[in-house]
Structure 1
Amino acid sequence: MCDDLGGGQVAAISVCVSILVIAASLIGTSIQQLSSEEYGLMYDVNARDLENEVREGGLHNGPPGFRFVKFPSTYISTDIPEESTSDEDSAENARNGICVSRDGLRVTIAVSYQYQIEKDSLITVVQKYRTRDRWSDLVNAAAVSAVQTGCSLYNISSFQTQRAQIQNSMFDELKKMIEGNSTANAEGLYARAIELQLREVNLPYEYSRAVSDKQSASEDISLAINQRQQALTVAETELQSAVEEAKRINDTAQNEAEILIEQATIEAQGIQVDFEADTDVYLALKSNLNLTTEGLLSFVASDVIAATDEPQVRLSEPALTTYREEL
């Protein structure tokens, strides 16, 4: 083109340079790159036209000056509450991090969730919500609502014993809200829920204190029951020992009593034999000597006195010292 110019060498060169610059500029603005983690829709800024083809990572040619409306092709991870960038955001996030249980108590929670845009729905998302930020804000609002709904299905006590179930309920609500619900004829937000984690649960101080007090009281009751059982065991052991000791003493006493009774019986029998022998002797003596009863008594008394070395006899009047006349 520049060789065809006949005159004005400098002007021709200037025109050629300008043409080359413009061409390079047009070529430069006609090529855009998408990363391997992005989807893009080509938008012609001049014609204000949005292409109906979803592009993926790589270099792409398009009309001069076009740009891509970009969305991540991988999953997006978000936290509830989100990190605060201002005092106003901090207050809002604090509210998002608090849910109300079915029995009306406020629970402080921390949740992470992951979602991904549906490639086939990218054109619809751009047409309805224009930008990624608007779409993401709606998804995050739906996630907060899902978490609040899942929280409201359970009593405060369940947050200690059914945490996994609560997490699953929150995830189910998130899927309904962002994926759509055919039963309720809801389109959703054209996203796919990947996962949700209930990372932290902080129960109200009053409830935690009441649970702690109840646990302490339960431990005290268990301790008292154990101590009572131990005391009963000790008492039963002592009672059993006392019963055994009483039985032993009773058996010993019965044995000793039987021995004493046996000894007394034997002694009584001996005394009886002695008395019977004496009786026979005295009867024979009375019969042989032809004595009266008084005479026999006098004879026995004389015999007793004679057998005593130094007899001391004290008689009261009118006692008789002899029964000679009766003999």
Structure 2
Amino acid sequence: MEAKRGAVQTLVSNLSSVSERTRINALCELRTMSMKDPETRPVISEAGTIPYLVETLYSSSHPAQQNAASTLRNLSLTEKETIMSTRGILDALAHVISHHSSTSSAAAVQASAATIHHLLSRVDDYRTVVGSKREIVYALIDILRCHHSSPPRTVKNALKALCAIALHPLNCAFMVQFGVVSDLFSLVVNDRRVGILEDATSVIAQVACCDESLEAFPKVSGIKLLTDLLHFPNDFSIRTMENAVCALLNLVRCGGDAMAGNVRNYFLNKYDGIVYVIDDGSSKMKKMATELLQVLLDEFGFSKMPHCNYS
């Protein structure tokens, strides 16, 4: 470990070199080290590297910015507290993401969005802090609006970051106010690249739990689109169908009988997709699908739920 500490210290000292090539080489080494050797992450953090990385996110040099962002992404897997306590970190991440269509490199944008996702993983308090940084939230949503010109990985990382932010309920309201609902359903309709539909519906399921969504979803035919994901025959993944169930249940929980009636009208008594989730979904989603189906059947006085054959 002492050898690793020495190597890291040398690289960190090179970050302040007057030679751009020396700085970039040091950043590249730190990126590789933090990716391949998790034991070095606390060493890199303790050596005072993170403030240098934050500063480099503003660099006009794409190699420097890209390597700094990628190193931060790797460190964010384990060094969350140190990163979040670094002055200016959220401003720097917002800078990179907000310039996704102009000066920032695509790799730096992808890494910065992934950093936000990692920082918020399993840390509720950080969701409030990041959610209050409106520039980050708006920039992530703007990536969705530009999905046709964005690499799939950029869109997916933005969706994962937004999903993590939406796990804090109070963040959902202003996400909806920023127009995220229409952008998410645009992805559902128009972007079927691998994994994007699953990630988009994950965010939809989260934001569906706020009052603002009761008005926003119908405006973009969101309820119909969600029920379409649960009509057979279809070729949607079980995860997509689970997300559709979760979103509809959140809407019904929030909107009560009126929303339940609205949702029921789109199913036309054909609940095969919900039953499929009950049969083949995760244990958590089996329960949610059962609750949704029971609510939708209550109007008709069914005492037990139907069983469907998919063969």
For the pair shown, which has the larger CA radius of gyration, 1 or 2?
1
Is the strand fraction higher in 1 or 2? 1
TM-score, normalised on structure 2?
0.19
Question: Hey, which of these two has a bigger chunk of helix by percent?
Answer: 2
Q: Which has the higher contact order (CA 8 A, sep 6+)?
A: 1
